[in-house]
């Protein structure tokens, strides 16, 4: 895979596994997260073609710095993966302004900054791919304590679709991909705002390598919508059909 790929939230979980998967396929990587020691450990597993940039993707200036550093190191960016995110454990009736602000900042604004700031580079080249890591909770809001997270991922899905509608008529070579995993066996639950269940204790989840492979395949295929769980697409269609929403 002759691609330069920027992965945010790459210090653990899906981002780290994706880095290792893409490195094995020949990609050159820019690994981004706030935790530099953890990033460097991931980079060591990815090999010589992995470059580390410690940065906070909720700060637009930091996103701009990542883009400049990626271009300086590799000359271009082919794929931008918005993977930085965080969950929450609080019932919808108990949510505070601060809870909503936190969920929107890390799960939506970070991705919006990435899309907006990398877009001029993609337009100049006439090609590029944005991959936004969403969630099945962005399709079906079935986990009550994750209500604010679900709302943020619904917002991200709509934003991704609208970027596609705006950009592709003039720049068909610029792709926007939404990836919707279910429960993934990582530290995600442990790091949720207000605490939470360890994701690895929830039945029916997936190993992180399966999700990483699905994302890597989306880079190679250019798919617009990716579900990593078997039967997930049909589950979503059935959910909306029962609500009387045509598929």
What are the catalytic residues?
149
SS3 content of the chain, % helix, strand, coil (to 5): 50, 15, 30
Query: Rounded CA gap, 241 and 239, in Å?
Result: 6
Whether the Cβ atoms of residue 106 and residue 156 lie closer than 8 Å to each other:
no
- Which residues pair with residue 179 across a beta bridge? 133, 226
Q: The sheet that has 28-33: what strands, in order across it?
A: 50-54, 28-33, 4-8, 79-82, 128-133, 174-180, 225-227
What distance in Å separates the CA atoms of residue 110 and residue 56, rounded to the nearest whole number? 9
Count of positions (residues) in the chain? 247
Task: Say if strands 4-8 and 79-82 run parallel, antiparallel, or are unpaired.
Answer: parallel
């Amino acid at each position: 895979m002759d691609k330069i790929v920027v992965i945010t939230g790459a210090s653990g979980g899906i981002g780290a596994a994706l880095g290792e998967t893409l490195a094995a396929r020949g990609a050159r990587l820019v690994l981004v997260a706030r935790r530099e020691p953890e990033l460097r450990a991931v980079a060591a597993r990815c090999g010589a073609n992995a470059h580390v940039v410690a940065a906070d993707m909720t700060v637009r200036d930091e996103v701009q710095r990542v883009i400049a550093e990626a271009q300086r190191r590799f000359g271009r960016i082919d794929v931008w993966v918005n993977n930085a995110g965080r969950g929450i454990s609080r019932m919808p009736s108990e949510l505070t302004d601060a809870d909503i602000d936190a969920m929107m900042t890390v799960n939506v604004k970070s991705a919006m900054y990435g899309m907006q700031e990398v877009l001029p580079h993609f337009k100049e080249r006439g090609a590029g791919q944005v991959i936004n890591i969403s969630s099945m909770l962005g399709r079906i809001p079935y986990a009550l304590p994750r209500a604010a997270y679900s709302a943020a991922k619904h917002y991200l899905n709509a934003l991704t679709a609208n970027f596609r509608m705006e950009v592709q008529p003039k720049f068909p070579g610029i792709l926007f991909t939404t990836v919707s995993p279910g429960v993934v066996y990582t530290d995600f639950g442990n790091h949720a705002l207000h605490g939470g269940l360890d994701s690895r204790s929830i039945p029916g989840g997936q190993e992180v390598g399966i999700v990483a492979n699905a994302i890597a395949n989306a880079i190679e295929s250019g798919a617009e919508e990716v579900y990593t769980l078997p039967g997930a697409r049909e589950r979503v269609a059935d959910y909306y059909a029962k609500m009387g929403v045509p598929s």
